[in-house]
Amino acid sequence: MEAGKTNAKGTGARPRFPQVGQLLDSSFLENAITRLSRPLVTDVIRRVLDSYRKQRRFITDDKEQAQLEADILFSCQKLIRTRQSRVINATGTVIHTNLGRSPISPDVWDAVAELNTGYNNLEISLTKGKRGERKGLVNHLVSALTGAEDAMVVNNNASSVWLLLNELSAGKEVIVSRGEQIQIGGGFRIPDIMGMAGANMVEVGTSNITTADDYIDAITENTALVLMVHRSNFAIRGFTESADIKEVARRLPEHVLLAVDQGSGLVTETFSKEEVPADRYLRQGAHLVCFSGDKILGGPQAGIICGDKELVKRLEKNPMMRAFRPGRIVYSLLEELLVRKLNGEDSGRGIAERAQLNLEANHQWAEQLLPKWGNSVSLLEDQLVVGGGTLPDEYYPSWSLELHLNKPANKILDELRELEVSIIAVIRNDKVRINLATILPEDRDTVARQLTNYLLEYTQ
């Protein structure tokens, strides 16, 4: 700019932008750098400054400097909100895929913390002093839980299904009911997975009825496997019939195997009368059963395959097993959980069991707080679902807090998410509900404090 001329705003001050380094060293960005890292905050600063330049917004006084800092901080906060953060599940869906699926018991997590922050014997035999198997104690524990001859672990149950299809039926036929050709989240479709695994799918039965005869009549010399699949996210009611697995197993020729994708991981739990436990499938004649390690079981996300010992050995030797195998965090958490489950300890229960056991305590806790919240909150009967592709169409009694505020429900929902620890609630009948079933005991104080402050701000 030539001497004596004014800048774009008509003042005599020289237009300028703060240096990136100066802004990075400012105290207002200390927390953002701690949460995001210095390089990411640097990128944010540069993007904001670039937008200012394009708009020809210059910094000529303290007010404009403060606005620039506010814009930078706002952009940092938006980025921080994308980071993995603790939230409070108040949806009534216990195993919520969008909220990290199944919380692990704090006692189980703490028990393996030291093991996972130091070295451990993941692949060394402490007896022989040589390289050992990665399985550790998990296969023995799963066998004790299910009665299986052997067991193995992969990184999730989708991997379990692909692995057994690829190893046991590549280039051959797999028989599956039309009523079990499911699709779960992310586009995981049974027909597509069969094709990718190299198996040729043979459809039998109808969407609502598949009999033992349907399976047996479809068997040829090229049939390798009958696959029964858990209907993880839907239910069929009315005029329906499913094949008796015991009859199918009894009538199968020797060259055909029977595998079950049990899905949910229910084994010893008793809260579902309709779900068939994994161990029962084995007792009824299935050669292999696979299921999720988190969901109902209560461990980390993993896939567990159990059953015939020789078949498990074959799966472990599949070339893709190296891509599917989990690390020490998964193994150690599963071991600790299964030991506690077999010993009948409360910390060995999965979140679905714990949520139902905590429900009455949560109800009493909420009743005690109602007088403090006045007419802004009421307590009403509600329902919970297990969710996570486990028990479709099964509902259990619950309680919810319903908010009565003179503002749109969507606005309240947004504001609850913006709290220091986000509360993820739901809308029912145009009212926001905080379902008590999914509030963990350790989150009660946080919910009480945040909700009290939120309502106080609203009434002022």
Domain count, the chain: 3
The string of DSSP codes covering 190-247 is: HHHHHHHHT-EEEEES-SSB--HHHHHHT--TTEEEEEEE--TT----SS-B---HHH
Distance CA 393, CA 399 (A): 19
Distance CA 182, CA 212 (A): 20
Distance CA 194, CA 215 (A): 17
pLDDT at res. 83 = 94
| 34: its two tokens | 């701690």
> Whats the size of the chain, residue-wise?
460
Partners of 434 in the β-ladder: 401
pLDDT at res. 205 = 87
| 252: its two tokens | 């199968």
Query: Has residue 315 been placed in a domain?
Result: yes
193 and 159 within one domain: yes
From 213, 280, 287, select the one nearest 251 (Cα to Cα).
213
Q: What are phi and psi of 114, to 5 degrees?
A: -65, -40
313 and 180 within one domain: yes
Distance CA 387, CA 92 (A): 9
Rounded to a whole number of angstroms, the distance between the first and last alpha carbons of the chain is 51
pLDDT at res. 281 = 95
pLDDT at res. 16 = 72
296 and 232 within one domain: yes
pLDDT at res. 5 = 40
Query: Has residue 10 been placed in a domain?
Result: no
* Exposure string for 90-105, b = 16+ CB within 10 A, e = fewer: bbbbbbbeebebbbbb
Query: Has residue 15 been placed in a domain?
Result: no
- Which three-class secondary structure state does DSSP give residue 458? helix
266 and 151 within one domain: yes
pLDDT at res. 15 = 59
Q: Compute mean pLDDT per 10 residues along the chain, 460 residues long, and list them.
A: 42 68 94 97 96 86 92 96 95 92 94 96 91 89 97 94 95 91 72 88 88 94 93 66 89 96 89 86 96 93 97 96 95 97 94 89 92 93 86 85 94 95 96 95 95 85
Query: Has residue 14 been placed in a domain?
Result: no
Domain CATH for 273? 3.40.640.10
Domain stop point among 346, 377, 407: 346
* CA angle in degrees (0–180, nearest 5) for 85-88-89: 120
Domain stop point among 318, 346, 374: 346
Spatial contact of 288 and 259, defined as CB atoms under 8 Å apart: yes
Give the torsion sign (CA, 388, 391, 393, 395).
Answer: negative
305 and 358 within one domain: no
Domain CATH for 369? 3.90.1150.180
From 162, 77, 188, select the one nearest 420 (Cα to Cα).
77
302 and 339 within one domain: yes
Distance CA 270, CA 277 (A): 9
305 and 227 within one domain: yes
Please name the residue ranges forming H helices in 236-308: 245-251, 278-283
* CA angle in degrees (0–180, nearest 5) for 71-72-76: 115
pLDDT at res. 12 = 47
Distance CA 329, CA 114 (A): 11
The range of the structural domain enclosing residue 359 comes to 88-98+351-459
pTM above 0.85, yes or no: yes
153 and 61 within one domain: no
Spatial contact of 226 and 259, defined as CB atoms under 8 Å apart: yes
